[in-house]
Amino acid sequence: MKLKLSRALCATTALATGLLVSGQAFAQSTGTALVEELVVTGSTGPRNLDGAIMAIEEPKSRVGITAEFISRQAPGQSILDSINLLPSVNFTNNDAYGSAGGDFVIRGFDSQRVAVVQDGVPLNDSGNYAVFPNQQLEPDLIERVTVNLGTTDVDSPTAAAAGGTVNYVTKRATQDFGVRAEVGVGSEDMQRYYATINSGAVGPFGTRMWISGMYQKYDHFRPHNSPIPAPGGIEKKQFNARIDQDFGDIGQASLIFNYNENRNNFINRISLATFQRQGLTAAGAPDTSIVAPSVCSRPTPGAGAQVDNSGATLCPSNFFEYSINPSNTGNIRGLSSWKLSDDITLTFDPSFQYVLANGGGAQIFAENDPQLRGNSTAAGVDLNGDGDILDRVYLYRPNTTNTRRYGLTTSLIWKFADNQSVRLAYTYDRAKHRQTGDVGFIGQDGVPENVFGGKDGEGRQVTLPDGTNLRRRDRLSVAMLNQVAAEWRGRFMEEKLLLNVGVRAPFFKRDLNNYCFQQNTFNAYCTTQVGTPVPGTNDGTGRPLVTFPAATLNSNAALRYGNPRSFTRKYDDVLPNLGASYEFTDDLSVYVSYAETLSVPRTDDLYDQILVDPGPERSKTYDLGVRYQTPQLMIAGAIYLTDFSNRIERVLDEPSGVAFSQNVGDVRNKGLDLQLGWKPVEEFSFYASYSFIDSEILDNIPNAVAGILPTKGKSVYETPKHQGGARVQYEPTEWLSLGAQAKWVGDRWTNLVNTEKFRGYELVDFDARFKLSEIPGLDAMGNNTYIQFNVRNAFNKRYLGDITPNLTGTALGQPGYRRSFIATLHASF
């Protein structure tokens, strides 16, 4: 018979991260963790089968993995890669080690429509909702990851989660002193060094803490049959710390710190035709465009006209040092739970995040370019210091994003009966999002002087005669979310029936300021010149569009620009979140859920030549699922239907020659998710998942060039109709453990008219762990000291992973990484 957890147990074990003793609450915030725990029952405690599948009791489609499974993956890997075997999740990694980026799709929704949350803190970019896999927390510090498929939690601090949420929680500090350390080497000259020190309980109050550091570097992989080596490399540094403090019967609190620094170069994306030619041009010669040029020497400044890229070894625009992706990110997260009385609990989770990152880029400027002269009478700017203004010189012009973000999630929970609770929740999220393109200088070796260009406090700016500085864009956005939520939960019918009724009401506002003339979402013209009005046009503010003389950034004088402007956009909704589950036996249950979500327009959807407001995207998701969960066998399945309305896409207006964001219609996703975990004996386990996704665009899309795009009845790009995963783990002896896993991805369309598709692929990985402490003569080592070998893409499969989709035409794809070997020495004592 199952035993109900008492309030006293919850009060003493429900710590701020949601890592509760019973292990049943795998939620993102302290408030959600406590509410889920208060009415959960269970006698077997935390149940999972080698960490690849977890027992879930929530009445919604939720799946997850634990630290046990994470530790068998390639050490240092992005945590988003580790969830790739879960149903309906497809993560495409840009390299074998996780620090070159990647992307994922869940139930047909791309990552910009899925919220990624760490300890209750939203990690998606506040402007465009992008997720950066290479900036995620070191996986050894993660206790577990859960994925809400198509739904959110009632207090999810997000304005963009039509496809669901990915939630992961950080490991707590331990009661005893301990050290974990790893040294790893691998293909592409990979080196990785990692250590975490746990203090144990120290001081008069039994404070616990840990501090952690990681350093990794490796070369870019070379795509299959590429005729030249891949230049450049990847370097990553990450530092983390955590403090946990108990306050007896009053409450508990945690403070967590994270800082991550990435330096890497982009890997060239290629077309399907280039991929199929396997490293050759259409004429059969080696295709040197697959890998960025690795040699660059700028001319020594001197008298007379010079051009940076006029020779074979001089700097081309795609020189790899221009295609860099630097980032400095960090956050501070506070987590706490306080007992106000026997029945009332207050949670309080504040946070702060910092982001400084860009995507690189270079542009060749004529020294007499009109943009450099601005409104002055100067003839130009001597960019290379040779005493004349006759040259064409490369300058570094990245799109830099600098964000400072403050957040708070708090809940007041009242457990008014043994089997019922109610809570009120509030979320505050304010992000000051500065997007600039301050141009910087490039050295004689072709390397930018500073990876952040001329950003204030970073590199040297290009100062213009009128006192301004040369820049690519100049925007200031403030995104503010105020959200209130309420939730009631209860168990009835001898605790077999679990009911959850929740509602959240987000109030979202964007204050937007564009200080430059705007040509389209990404291209601005920042100048003090006076533009020439275009009669009969309107940029959406009552002012005409303008043109400028032909210039480097504006090679066509007929291009039209919208004026600098400031404006505000507001969005709000009331979103129900309902669920019910019924236990037929202690092991067999069914559930049904309904949830509505909202994705408000991204910053880039609103900054346009003509002021537009495409409105928010909305989704309604219905799930029906069944679970059979025992310590030896776990089976879960769900069928679902998602009505996704007002999908935002970029469409082209031919008369103006400008693409802009527009709601293009509705999409319906329906499918099936299955997963199975089996552990018949202690030494062997098996896991498998399968997903079927049928995505259908319900409308044709108006387009000025093609008239009406025939998208009705077509599938959404990037979404495989069939996908699956499997893992086998076997421990023949106490000192040896073996694992094999496979990910299968079906064909994926690359555009909305379904005229091009990337073929499916299968990736197979192997891992082996040799426990040194079990070998005679080495038993003096720690109980958890081992050598682990990982092989990624063991059969060297050629494939195209992440897709840069297109509305109608040919897309570009990320070449998949080659077979990679990794060896790691892990010591723990």
Give the mean model confidence (pLDDT) for residues 236-250. 96
> What are the backbone dihedrals phi and psi of residue 135, each rounded to the nearest 5 degrees, phi first?
-105, 10
Burial status of residue 636 (CB atoms within 10 A of its CB: 0-12, 13-18, 19 or more): buried
User: Can you give the pLDDT at residue 471?
Assistant: 92
pLDDT tens string 374-390: 888 888 999 999 999 99
Q: What is the pLDDT of residues 325-371, one digit of tens each?
A: 899 999 999 999 999 999 999 999 999 999 999 988 898 999 998 88
The CA distance from 73 to 104, in Å, is: 18
Q: Are residues 117 and 232 in the same domain?
A: no
CATH of the domain at 27: 2.170.130.10
More confident residue, 57 or 244: 244
Domain boundary among 167, 199, 217: 167
pLDDT tier at 680, thresholds 50, 70, 90: very high
* Phi, psi for residue 468 in degrees, rounded to 5: -85, 175
- Which residue is it, tokens 């996780």? 98
pLDDT digits (tens, 9 = 90+) for 62-90: 999 999 999 999 999 999 999 999 999 99
pLDDT range class, residue 519, cuts 50, 70, 90: confident
Angle made by CA atoms 395, 401, 406, in degrees to the nearest 5: 160
Residue 540's closest CA among 479, 475, 592, 609?
609
DSSP-derived letter for residue 67 is H
The SS3 assignment for 290 reads coil
**pLDDT for residue 36:** 72
The lowest-confidence range among 49-58, 629-638, 775-784 is: 775-784
586 and 689 assigned to the same domain: yes
Interval 132-186: pLDDT, tens: 999 999 999 999 999 999 888 888 888 778 788 999 999 999 999 999 999 999 9
Domain identity same for 200 and 162: no
Which regions of 94-189 does DSSP assign to beta strands (E)? 102-106, 109-110, 115-118, 121-122, 142-149, 164-170, 178-186
- 301 and 361, same domain (yes or no): yes
- Residue 343 resides in a domain: yes
Q: Look at residue 22 and tell me whether its pLDDT is greater than 50.
A: no
Those residues whose C-beta lies under 8 Å from the C-beta of residue 200, and which sit 6 or more positions away, are 174, 175, 176, 177, 178, 208
- Note the pLDDT of residue 224: 56
Phi-psi region of 707 (alpha: psi -120 to 50; beta: other; left: phi over 0): left
Q: Which residue has the tokens 């003509």?
A: 610
One domain for residues 646 and 688: yes
- The pair of structure tokens assigned to 720 is 């495989």
pLDDT surpasses 50 at 60 = yes
pLDDT for 728 equals 98
Q: Residue 24: pLDDT above 50?
A: no
- Pick from 687, 773, 767: nearest CA to 731: 767
Give residue 67's domain range.
Answer: 7-167
pLDDT band of residue 21 (cuts 50, 70, 90) is: very low
Give the pLDDT confidence score for residue 46 in this predicted structure: 47
The pLDDT, as a whole number, for residue 45 is: 45
C-alpha 36/C-alpha 511 separation (Å) is 36
Please check whether residues 245 and 132 belong to one and the same domain: no
**Residue 285: which residues within 8 A CB-CB, separation 6 or more?**
none
> How many distinct helices (H) and strands (E) make up the chain?
7, 46
Residue 387 sits at φ, ψ, to 5 deg, of 90, 0
Are residues 421 and 305 located together in one domain of the fold? Answer: yes
For residue 548, being part of any structural domain is answered with no
Mean pLDDT score of the chain: 87
Q: Which of 135, 167, 199 is at the close of a domain?
A: 167
- Looking at per-residue pLDDT, the higher value among 705 and 619 belongs to 619
Residue 777 reports pLDDT greater than 70: no
Residue 681 neighbours by CB distance under 10 Å: 9
pLDDT at 752 over 70: yes
What is the value of pTM for the model shown? 0.91
User: What's the pLDDT score for residue 225?
Assistant: 55
Range with the poorest average pLDDT among 32-36, 76-80, 274-278, 735-739: 32-36
Better-predicted residue by pLDDT, 690 or 51: 690
Residues 202 and 156 in one domain: no
Query: What pLDDT band is residue 42 in, cutting at 50, 70 and 90?
Result: very low
From the CA atom positions of the chain, what is the Rg in Å?
A: 27
Query: Mean per-residue pLDDT for 257-275?
Result: 90
Give the model's confidence band at 746: pLDDT under 50 very low, under 70 low, under 90 confident, else very high.
very high
Residue 753 covered by a domain: yes
Q: What is the pLDDT of residue 654?
A: 47
CATH classification at residue 501: 2.40.170.20
Scored b (16 or more CB within 10 A) or e, 526-539 reads: bbebebeebeeeeb
Q: Are 647 and 665 in contact (CB under 8 A)?
A: yes
Q: Determine the average pLDDT of the residues in 218-224.
A: 73
**pLDDT tops 80 at residue 492:** yes
In a domain, 1, yes or no: no
> Do the domain assignments include residue 197?
yes
Q: Let me know whether 214 and 113 are in one domain.
A: no
- 225 and 163 share a domain? no
- Amino acid 339: pLDDT: 95
Residue 106 above 90 pLDDT?
yes
**Residue 429 forms part of a structural domain:** yes
The CA distances from residue 546 to 156, 525, 528, 535, in Å, are 43, 11, 13, 9
Domains of the chain: total: 2
The reported pLDDT for the residue numbered 298 is 87
Regarding whether 696 and 639 lie in a shared domain, the answer is yes
Q: Domain for residue 705, yes or no?
A: yes
533 domain-assigned: no
Of 167, 191, 222, the residue that ends a domain is 167
Nearest in space to 457 (alpha carbons), one of 321, 264, 328? 328
Q: Are residues 49 and 156 in the same domain?
A: yes
